[in-house]
C-alpha cells in the first residue's frame, strides 16, 4: 500500500493534465496520480526513441533512465518530485505516449523529441519549487 495525500504532486498533476489519451499505456480513462505512476513503473522500457536537446541518448544514459524509474519509491509521491534537467520520467513519457516535450526550467528550454514522430507537443515549466503545464 502506498501512502498518499494531496500534497506536493505538481509534477504528476502537470503531466496528467497534459495527456489526452491513455490507451498507449493500457488505460481507458485518465488515472489518478498513484495509478499513473504505478503504470509508468510497470511499463518502464529502455527509451531508444527519444532525443534530448537534439542528441541521441547514449546506452549508459538509456540504462540510467530505466534504472532510475525502476528504483523510484512510490511512497515519496506526496513529498514532491525533483524534476531533473534530463528527467527520466519525461523521457519515458515521451517514449510511451509518442509525444514531444518542451520543459522550461526558469529561462532554459530542454527538448525531448520522440524520433518516431511525436503526435503532439507537451509544454511544461518549472522553477526551484514548482512544476506546471504551460
- The predicted pLDDT at position 119 comes to 83
- With 0.85 as the threshold, say if the pTM is over it: yes
Task: Quote the pLDDT of residue 28.
Answer: 94
For the cut 90, the answer to whether the pLDDT of residue 118 exceeds it is no
Per-domain boundaries in the chain: 10-133
- Kindly report, residue by residue over 52-78, the tens digit of the pLDDT: 999 999 999 999 999 999 999 999 998
- Pairwise CA distance, residues 81 & 83, whole Å: 6
Report pLDDT digits (tens) over 17-32: 999 999 999 999 999 9
Between 97 and 80, the higher pLDDT residue: 97
Adjacent-strand bridge partners of 123: 102
Per-residue model confidence (pLDDT) at position 108: 95
- The mean pLDDT of 94-109, rounded to a whole number, is 96
What mean pLDDT value characterizes the chain?
92
Angle between helices 33-42 and 88-97 (to 10 degrees): 80
Amino acid at each position: 500500500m502506498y501512502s498518499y495525500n494531496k500534497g506536493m504532486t505538481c509534477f504528476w498533476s502537470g503531466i496528467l493534465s497534459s495527456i489526452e489519451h491513455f490507451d498507449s499505456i493500457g488505460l481507458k480513462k485518465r488515472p489518478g496520480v498513484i495509478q499513473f505512476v504505478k503504470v509508468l513503473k510497470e511499463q518502464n522500457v529502455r527509451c531508444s526513441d527519444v532525443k534530448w536537446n537534439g542528441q541521441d541518448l547514449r546506452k549508459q544514459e538509456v540504462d540510467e533512465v530505466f534504472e532510475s524509474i525502476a528504483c523510484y519509491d512510490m511512497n515519496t509521491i506526496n513529498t514532491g518530485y525533483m524534476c531533473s534537467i534530463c528527467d527520466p520520467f519525461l523521457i519515458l513519457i515521451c517514449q510511451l505516449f509518442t509525444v514531444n516535450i518542451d520543459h522550461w526550467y526558469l529561462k532554459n528550454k530542454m527538448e525531448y523529441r520522440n524520433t518516431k514522430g511525436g503526435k503532439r507537443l507537451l509544454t511544461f515549466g518549472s522553477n526551484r519549487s514548482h512544476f506546471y503545464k504551460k
